[in-house]
Amino acid sequence: MSEGHSTYTPKTGIERWFDARMPLPRMVYDSFVAYPVPRNLNYAWTFGGILSIMLVAQILTGIVLAMHYTADTNLAFGSVEKIMRDVNSGWLLRYMHA
């Protein structure tokens, strides 16, 4: 979060009520809106962050797919079909992993 006092000011009564009980909008504002952008921000730095997010997605989907996969030459195709048809959102997991 930002150093020092927050500059977030709720505008409506509902926002003030919500901010008094749970300062989630204040935290989001301080972390994303009021956070200063570094001068040396470039595409290489941004793609590094995107690459790390994609690596985590590959690892997580790979673990879930490995739980349903059968590593036998005769049963492998059938297990992939089972993932696509019978597993909840299995088609989405497979295509996210591809």
Structure confidence by residue, pLDDT tens digits, 83-93: 999 989 999 99
- Residue 83 has a CB neighbour count (10 Å cut-off) of 19
Domain count, the chain: 2
In this structure, the answer to whether residues 50 and 81 fall within a common structural domain is yes
In this structure, the answer to whether residues 49 and 32 fall within a common structural domain is no
In this structure, the answer to whether residues 68 and 87 fall within a common structural domain is yes
The whole domain housing 2 covers: 1-36
In this structure, the answer to whether residues 31 and 48 fall within a common structural domain is no
In this structure, the answer to whether residues 32 and 47 fall within a common structural domain is no
In this structure, the answer to whether residues 52 and 78 fall within a common structural domain is yes
The closest of 25, 28, 22, 26 to 6, measured between CA atoms, is: 26
Structure confidence by residue, pLDDT tens digits, 43-60: 877 888 899 999 999 999
Tell whether pTM > 0.75. Answer: no
In this structure, the answer to whether residues 91 and 61 fall within a common structural domain is yes
In this structure, the answer to whether residues 53 and 69 fall within a common structural domain is yes
